Amino acid sequence: MELERLLRSQGFGSRAECRALVGEGRVSVGGEVCEDASAQFEPEGLSFAVDGRVWRYWRFVYLALNKPAGYECSQQPQHHRSVYSLLPLPLLKRGIQTVGRLDQDTTGLLLLSDDGPFIHRYTSPRKLIPKVYEVVTRHPIDDAQVAALLNGVELREEARMVSAAACVRLGERQLRLTVTLGRYHLVKRMLAAAGNRVEALQRVEIGGFALPTALAAGQWMWLDLPQLALLAQRG
């Protein structure tokens, strides 16, 4: 693939912008500056650098972000910053999107990708992808609340009772809750319907992929092939 086309595909701008980057000697491949925008490279597995920052060619990108509190999963946030502000410009320019959404005050695992079918599979209500949350509640959690969450609670605008796929008490006010639906404020509404209230919510796992403990709040990572294979088993 021509270097200019390759850069365009990775979010480095228009044809003219990519030609200019190369012409200005700001792009290197295999450690050597390449000033020929028409030079051909095999893209699969290629590493290149722009202004000294190393990138790898990806046909599609898949990322995991540890979302901090106080960020909205929207390109046009209303009251807080956008999670997209945590990502470098080339990823934004190639149209990366969140796979589902978390509330602004929810923290933890958020997947992002520019692979439309992947996003669709992961957000499809028919797929029943398990999502695991750690919940801190306002009131102590009793057995009746755990039973209600497992047996199903009634939520406004849901035709059927909504139940957790798993619910484990971790402490007096702490739960590990697995749900397969994706609905607005789902966990908060479920806890309210069970007679309690969410004080803090963190997503720790999606489709068998756990939030890496080394990934600090606000940091993101590329997903590698084994991690994607794990997700693909579910999607």
CB 175 within 8 A of CB 167: yes
Among 155, 201, 206, 211, binds ligand URA (CB under 6 A): 201
126: three-class secondary structure by DSSP: coil
Q: Give me the catalytic one of 36, 51, 103, 224.
A: 103
Task: Determine contact, residues 191/41, Cβ cutoff 8 Å.
Answer: no
153 interacts with ligand URA by CB under 6 A:
no
Minimum Å gap between C-beta 54 and ligand URA is 33
Strand (E) or helix (H) holding 203: strand 198-206
Please give the size of the binding site for ligand URA, defined by CB under 6 A: 8
In the range 29-88, which residues lie near ligand URA by CB under 6 A? Answer: none
- Nearer to ligand URA among residue 146 and residue 181 (C-beta): 181
Nearer to ligand URA, 9 or 82 (CB): 82
Q: What's the CA gap between 133 and 166, in Å, rounded?
A: 10
Is residue 103 among the annotated active site residues? yes
Question: Which one, 21 or 194, has the nearer CB to ligand URA?
Answer: 194
Tell the smallest beta-carbon distance from residue 158 to ligand URA (Å): 13
Give CA separation, 134 vs 70, 173, 175, in Å.
18, 11, 6
CB 132 within 8 A of CB 175: no
Question: Taking the complex as a whole, how short is the minimal distance between the CB of residue 18 and ligand URA, in angstroms?
Answer: 37
Helix (H) or strand (E) holding 222: strand 220-222
Q: Is 106 in the site for ligand URA (CB under 6 A)?
A: yes
What's the closest the beta carbon of residue 167 comes to ligand URA, in angstroms? 14
The binder of ligand URA chosen from 21, 37, 99, 103 (CB under 6 A): 103
State in angstroms the smallest separation of the CB of 49 from ligand URA. Answer: 37
Nearer to ligand URA, 43 or 68 (CB): 68
DSSP characters over 4-57:
HHHHHHTT---HHHHHHHHHTT-EEETTEE---TT-B---TT-EEEETTEEEE-
For the CA atoms of 57, 94, 68, 134, the dihedral, rounded to the nearest 10 degrees, stands at -80
Tell me how far apart the alpha carbons of residues 84 and 101 are, in angstroms, rounded to a whole number: 12
Q: Which of residues 172-191 bind ligand URA (CB under 6 A)?
A: 185-188
How far apart are alpha carbons 152 and 174 in whole angstroms?
A: 19
Contact stretch for ligand URA (CB under 6 A) within 41-49, 99-107, 151-159, 219-227: 99-107
Sites of contact with ligand URA (CB under 6 A): 102-103, 106, 185-188, 201
Residues with a known catalytic role: 103
